[in-house]
Structures are given as structure tokens and as C-alpha cells.
Amino acid sequence: MSVPISLADTNGKLRTGQKAALADVLTRGIECPSAIDLQGSAYLLNDGMALVAAVGKPADAQTFRAYADRFQDAVLGAGSRTIRQVREKFNQSRHERTPYQDYSPVRRVIENKNVPLPNSWSNFLALPENKANLAKFLSEHLIANAPQEKVVVVAGGFSDGKEALSTNQLIDASLLCADHEQADTRLVLHAIVNSCDTVVVSARDTDVLLLLVAHLPSMPSPNVWMMAGTAARRKFFNIRAISENLPAGSLSALLPFRALTGCDTTSYISNHSKLSAWKTFQDKHYLLASLGEGELSANKVRDAEKFICAIYTCGHMESVNDFRVLLFSKTKKPEALPPTKDALELHIKRVHYQSLVRKQASCQDPILPNPDGMGWKRESEGGSKLVPLLMTKEPIPNACKEIISCSCKSGCTTLRCGCKKAKLFCTGVCGCSVDEKNSCKNRCDK
């Protein structure tokens, strides 16, 4: 088999899964109201491209000018009551990774506001150049048409991706200029660089929830909320209450846990949901705390492997390769096995890189290694698209592919035992080793 099926599908793409269940775990026992009373000054944070996806292609919009008006209505409408400051973030990744869905992108240059909208909105957004062009167009539109009663701050959507602009000169926009791969992390930076009493982050992504919780100690605002759901079914998450509800001492391990158990750029683990993995996290979160900090050392890799073994309930075993041998002798099902040490170490590299990105969300210019050496490779030499490097070694050594094994139930004393017939001793992969009632007589005790 050419891929580690515990981490990837047979087509070579990273396994996907459900991450929304983690929000239910984090908010268990915490009230999540449909509305909140804002105390003092407040501002709203939006992920621009997420809002683009939510707005979609309005039926009554025929041109990009009409679309920009609908988009601005959505931005300002979300904070139409007592929120006086609105911040919009757009971001384009510096590294293009292979998406989970395939589209047929069509280039449409927004030369002016009268350019007609494309027939297929999803195909239009599938092309990075289109998204960058749209982000610039919308950013300029929001700044130029901001109402006087609101302060609008826009970042990440201009020709210079680091640039941030504000309609209020009293706000030092230079503190918001950042070189970030993702809009999610830039949301955190804006939540940290503020002087308001309340911060409301509009997002539907569980990843944003975890980021806010992880970086809460750096946020000066006493009240931090995440506004999720739809207008009809709104839900507000109290970030401070969630942080206080975490297992003691686990805050630094929260983002590595998210990446290790699966996110947009790392694999989900086959047959192990985030909900089941959380049970392991509650007791062994310390094994993940140092991921995403500094260089990836052998000790960090070893601790992450121990955590994976704990997810698979390996007992006292701390090696995935050793547990693969034991588990295979019991099930003979490849999909039930943990990844090989080789595949797991590449996964841990991707986890470490993603955790580095997330843990440095408070930095304007995070320091990141080249992703080529962190579990990724270029799809073509000199190209921009990254694809995951899933393994560098065969999952089963060639010398082991024709190993003889038996499944005897009667002590392996006759030639009916395949091992004995071949004049070989029984091994750990034999079925006779699983049956505790069967005392195999064909073992090497030396």
C-alpha cells in the first residue's frame, strides 16, 4: 500500500474529519447565549475571505460594485448596534497547499467596479490571483465608503499583504501590519492590539475558537467573545470562561493537540475522533506542550509518539512500530494500525510547523522554517504548490512480505502448523500468540 492509511486516503490526500465536536467539548457546562450586552467600548473582528464565502454570490448583484455594496452591508450589519469599530482581515497564504476539493478556476480581472460577476463564484474563488484581486478591491471599497460613525480597519487585502489601514488616524495601524500565512492568526493579533473593553470575533471555525483561547493571556480586553452560527441561530462563546474550564496547565498544548489530531493542513487519525483523543489530552497534555516552540527535537518527537500510543491505548508501549506488530497479530486489519514511525514523524513535522504558525499569532513577523523540510514537498521543482510527504520508507520491509505465520489453536505440535511445517519458529504475528489458552510449543525460548 503506497500511503499510510491511518493518516491519508488511498488517493494520497490527507484524511479529513469533523472538528466541530471539539467546540462542544470546550464549551461543556458553559452558557453560550444568543445575544450579549456589550460593556463600554467594543469592536468587531471579521475574517474577510470567510465572509466572502458566507455572502456567496448575491442574486441581485450583477457587477463587482454591487457585490462590494452587499459585502459592506454584511460587514457593518454585524456590528450595527453598539459596536463602533469594525476590523476586516484578508489574507493570502504564501505557500499554496493542495486543497481537499478540486475546481476549474477561471481568471477574472477586476479592472473597475463595473466588471460583471463571473457565472461560477466557486470557480472564481478557486484561483489565488482572483482572491487576491477581490480582497484588494473590497479593502479599498470598505475604507473609501466607511460611515462616519464607525471606525473601519482593514488589513491583509492590499497589494502589500502586510499593510493595514484605518479610517481613524488615532489608531496606529502600523502595529497591525503583519506577515501572516493565515487570516485566523491575524485575527488574534488584532484582538491583542486594541484598547477596547470588549472584543467580538465573528467566525464559524473551531480553529479560531482554539486560537482565541490559547492566546487569551495576551489580550488586554476583559471581555472576549466569539460570535458563531448564523443570524437566525446565533451563538456567543465566552473565551475567558472556556479558558478557565481547561485541564490545569494544558493551555500551551491546546494548539498542538488540534494539529496532531487533524486540521486543514494536517491529517486526521483514522478511527480516532477529536472527542476520543480529548480523553487522552486531559491526562497527557504535557506531552504536546513544547510542539510549536523552537526547533523540533528528538525529545519532542518522542513525546508526541507517546501521545499517539496513548490514543491507541497501547498500554505501556511507547513505540508505534512495536504496537503495530502486536495489533496486527490480533486484527490483521491495516486500517486499525497506527502509522509507522516513519509516517508518524513526517506527520509530527507538519504538526510542529502548523503549531509554530499558530503559537506566533501575536507576532507581526513570525519566524518560520521552510515547509519543504517539515513534512511537505513541492509538487514540481520550483513550483509553489506543496503536497504532503507521507512516508519515505515502505510500511512493511520487503524481507517481511512473505513471512509465514499460523493461527493454530492446538499448541502448534503437528505439521498442520504452517510454521512447524516450514521448520520455523512461531512469532508474534502468529495467531497462536493471541490465544492465551493455547500454549504454543513451537517457540524459540532463547
Where is 42: in which H helix or E strand?
strand 42-47
At the topology level, CATH places domain 31-245 in Rossmann fold (3.40.50)
What is the per-residue pLDDT for 43? 86
Domain with CATH 3.40.50 in the chain: 31-245
What is the per-residue pLDDT for 92? 54
Beta strands 85-89 and 151-155, pairing class:
parallel
Look over the chain and give the mean of its residue pLDDT values, rounded to a whole number.
87
What is the per-residue pLDDT for 434? 57
- DSSP assignment of 68-112 equals HHHHHHHHHHHT-SS--EEEEE----SSEEPPSS----------S
Structure-model confidence comparison of residues 381 and 398, the more confident one:
381
Residue range 144-175, pLDDT digits in tens? 999 888 888 998 888 888 889 999 888 888 89
What is the per-residue pLDDT for 435? 59
What is the per-residue pLDDT for 84? 55
The single-letter code of the amino acid at 416 is: R
Ranking 79-88, 134-143, 247-256, 426-435 by mean pLDDT, the lowest is 79-88
Residue 252: is its pLDDT beyond 70?
yes
Quick check: helix, strand or coil at residue 133? helix
pLDDT band for 99, please (50, 70, 90 cuts). Answer: very low
Cell 503559537 found at:
359
What is the per-residue pLDDT for 192? 94
Ranking 96-110, 159-173, 208-222, 403-417 by mean pLDDT, the lowest is 96-110
Question: CB of 47 within 8 A of CB of 226?
Answer: no
What is the per-residue pLDDT for 332? 62
Q: Return the C-alpha cell found at 94.
A: 504564501
pLDDT band for 88, please (50, 70, 90 cuts). Answer: low
The whole-number average pLDDT for the span 187-203 is: 91
Structure-model confidence comparison of residues 181 and 319, the more confident one:
319
Beta strands 234-238 and 223-229, pairing class:
antiparallel
**Cα–Cα nearest to 81, from 36, 29, 46:** 36
pLDDT-above-70 percentage for the chain: 89
What is the per-residue pLDDT for 403? 63
